[in-house]
């Protein structure tokens, strides 16, 4: 059963702590993306990776970091430098690295709450 | 995203009526325009898309129209049903990434 798996689904963090959100896909897709979703603001791109061992900043990368050591995995670290990290985080993948080539597949999301 | 504007932000329609959501984009090089539907608590899923070489595409009760000259595209839902209640996002490619609109919350009243 192919798809994208995000974990954890819910996460609580104290201020000043780093947390890492996991994203794994078994679709054999080249490109992977991290979006942040806040009410009324749509989906904003944090980081994206078109190929293994390469990634680029999106529109709101400050306070976040990623790695792409394997094709299947694209973890996102929310660092203590992110001023307002409470949000819903969505991981997605695309078969090729070009955004106009087809459907973006999303994971079920991770909801991060900073206490 | 700032490259894609979406209106309205909320839309309430009577069951059986039509719903229309409009988006404008700024990058004239954009050539692919998808629409995603996100039901409450679920992931966004593609419902229809259109490429710049056509002006309209239909799939049962949903259709998308594209006006490249004006740089806008619209989603049309006819004969709305309760299961159409969701948040709808339009998107357009900018370089190697998709830029999303802010979303439209559609509520279908019984």
pLDDT tens sequence for chain B (110 residues): 458 999 999 999 999 999 999 999 998 888 899 999 999 888 999 999 998 888 999 999 999 999 999 999 999 999 999 999 999 999 998 877 889 999 999 999 99
Q: Do A98 and B103 touch (CB under 8 A)?
A: no
pLDDT, tens digit, for every residue of A93-104? 998 877 677 789
Count A/B contacts: CB-CB distance under 8 Å.
63
pLDDT, tens digit, for every residue of A33-79? 999 999 877 899 999 999 999 999 999 999 999 999 999 999 999 99
What would the two tokens of residue A43 be? 């989906």
pLDDT (0 to 100) of residue A102: 79
Nearest to B93 among A35, A56, A99 (CB): A99
Q: Do B32 and A109 touch (CB under 8 A)?
A: no
Helix, strand and coil in chain A, % to nearest 5: 0, 50, 50
Burial, B49: exposed, middle or buried (Cβ in 10 Å; 0-12, 13-18, 19+)?
Answer: middle
- Find out whether A41 and B102 touch, Cβ atoms under 8 Å: yes
């Amino acid at each position: 059963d192919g798809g994208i798996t995000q974990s954890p689904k819910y996460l609580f963090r104290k201020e000043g702590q780093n947390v890492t959100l996991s994203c794994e896909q078994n679709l054999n897709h080249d490109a992977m993306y991290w979006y942040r979703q806040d009410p009324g603001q749509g989906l904003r791109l944090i980081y994206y990776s078109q190929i293994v061992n390469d990634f680029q900043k999106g529109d709101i990368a400050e306070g976040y970091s990623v790695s792409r050591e394997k094709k299947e995995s694209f973890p996102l670290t929310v660092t203590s430098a992110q001023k307002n990290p409470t949000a819903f985080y969505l991981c997605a993948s695309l078969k090729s690295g070009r955004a106009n080539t087809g459907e973006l597949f999303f994971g079920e999301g991770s909801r991060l709450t900073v206490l | 995203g700032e490259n894609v504007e979406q209106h309205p932000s909320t839309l309430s329609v009577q069951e059986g009526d039509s719903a229309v959501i409009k988006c404008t984009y700024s990058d004239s090089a954009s050539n692919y325009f998808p629409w995603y539907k996100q039901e409450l608590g679920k992931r966004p899923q593609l419902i229809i898309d259109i490429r710049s070489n056509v002006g309209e595409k239909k799939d049962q009760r949903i259709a998308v129209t594209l006006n490249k000259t004006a740089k806008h595209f619209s989603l049309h839902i006819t004969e709305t049903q309760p299961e159409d209640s969701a948040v709808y996002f339009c998107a357009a490619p900018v370089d190697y990434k998709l830029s999303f609109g802010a979303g439209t919350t559609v509520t279908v009243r019984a």
